[in-house]
Structure 1
Amino acid sequence: MRAFASALPPLLSRVSTAALWISGVGLVLMTLVVGWQVFGRYVLNASPSWTEPGALLLMSWFILLGSAVGVREGNHLGFETALHYAPRPLRRAMLLVTELLVTGFGVGMAWYGGHLAADTWGAKMAGLPISQGADYLPLAVGGALIAIFGLEKLVRLLVLGEEAPLVAPDAEPGEIPAPGERSIPSRAE
């Protein structure tokens, strides 16, 4: 089990990097689409009908993929002060509950997003010649990635004994790193 847990981070690091790149490309594409919409509306006096739904679809992709990467990297919102002040056994329990909740939330997003996509797949999206179900695919994919990354952190916590990147495993209660300073190296270092 330790070998599997040790082999997981490099593989999921590639998945995370790919999701981040897709997210970045989606942000650039959405900016271009919105720029085209403004140009069409105010210069050509003929706003293209596909730009608004297209921009919203791209935004869904980059937000949900970016959120999944944020979960893996520990950049999502959290109440880390309590972790730093908590004694080590309580800190581990808090991290365990957090990762269970994050994983469950991701599973729920993936499950219901998949159902929404399947239920609306037969309808056409207004303004774009694609299925309405495509609107819910980012929810399903982003949720699946959140669940996978949460599960990875859970496995690393339980099997390898690793804690979240912002929590020093040997930190004394009350020991908080300076703002912007990580107490242990991130996975990228």
Structure 2
Amino acid sequence: MKQLRNALTHLLNGLAGVSFLAMVVLTCWQVVTRYLLQNPSSWSEELVSYLFAWMALLGASLVTSERGHMNIPVIVERLPGGLKTAFSVFAELVAFAFSAVILVLGGVQITSLAMGQMTSSLGVAIGVFYIVLPLCGVLNMVYTAMNIYDIVKGNIPVLPTSEEDSLVDNLKKEEA
């Protein structure tokens, strides 16, 4: 399971990095063509906006893998151990359901509807760019399933810890 998580995370990091690099190059190209050549590129701006959406959704899947999405653990921290585990599993199940219904089912519907529409300057079906929705939905579902397994097995903390908490714990250990 850990190997699958690491492989998916490595792949997503690479894809998000390539998207970011392509966005930087295309934005520079847009500036050069607009201001130096006085003939703006018609397709690069549109492609950058689609790449940004891809990068954001891939990044959201990466955050799901690390259980790093925003949470407010004030109440959960005060629960006894078994209830903390149950609440954490419940939170992961909610994320799983959201990914299944909104990203996968909704994403498949909107992608299939958009396959008949073409982008204005690229000449590509808009649905091609919307494929990221169900793709990231499936990735989120895989990650949340792995998170649930790891929570139940005790492989990861019930509540995600912040970097600040880790720093404080390390300082306390050094002082002792």
Q: TM-score, normalised by structure 2?
A: 0.84
| Paired position in structure 1 for 2:97 | 104
The alignment-based identity, stated in percent, is: 22
Which is richer in helix? 2
User: How many residues are matched?
Assistant: 168
- Alpha-carbon distance between aligned partners in 1 of 2:65 and 2:86, rounded to the nearest angstrom: 19
Q: Is the 8 A contact 1:26 1:62 kept in 2?
A: yes
Q: Which residue of structure 2 lines up, in the alignment, with residue 179 of structure 1?
A: 164
In structure 1, stretches of 5+ residues that fail to align are: 1-7, 169-176, 184-189
Give the Cα–Cα distance (whole angstroms) in 1 for the partners of residues 33 and 165 of structure 2: 43
Provide the rounded CA distance (Å) in 2 between the counterparts of 1:101 and 1:57. 28
Q: Distance in 2 between matches of 1:80 and 1:29?
A: 38
The 5 Å alignment of 1:112-123 reads: 112-123=106-117
Per the TM alignment, residue 122 of structure 1 is displaced from its structure 2 partner at its CA by 2.2
Structure 2 gaps of 5+ residues are 170-176
For 1:155, which of 149, 152, 161 is the aligned residue?
149
Say which SS state the counterpart of residue 80 (structure 1) adopts. coil
- CA change 1:166–1:35 in 2 (3 A) is farther
CA RMSD in angstroms, aligned pairs only:
2.3
| 1:76-155 alignment, distance < 5 Å | 76-108=69-101, 109-155=103-149
Cα separation, 1, equivalents of 2:163 and 2:14: 30
Question: How many angstroms does 1:84 deviate by?
Answer: 3.1
| C-alpha contact (below 8 Å) 1:74/1:164 kept by paired residues | no
Following the alignment from structure 1 to structure 2, what is the Cα–Cα distance between the partners of residues 40 and 81? 52
With the length of structure 1 as denominator, give the TM-score of the two structures: 0.79
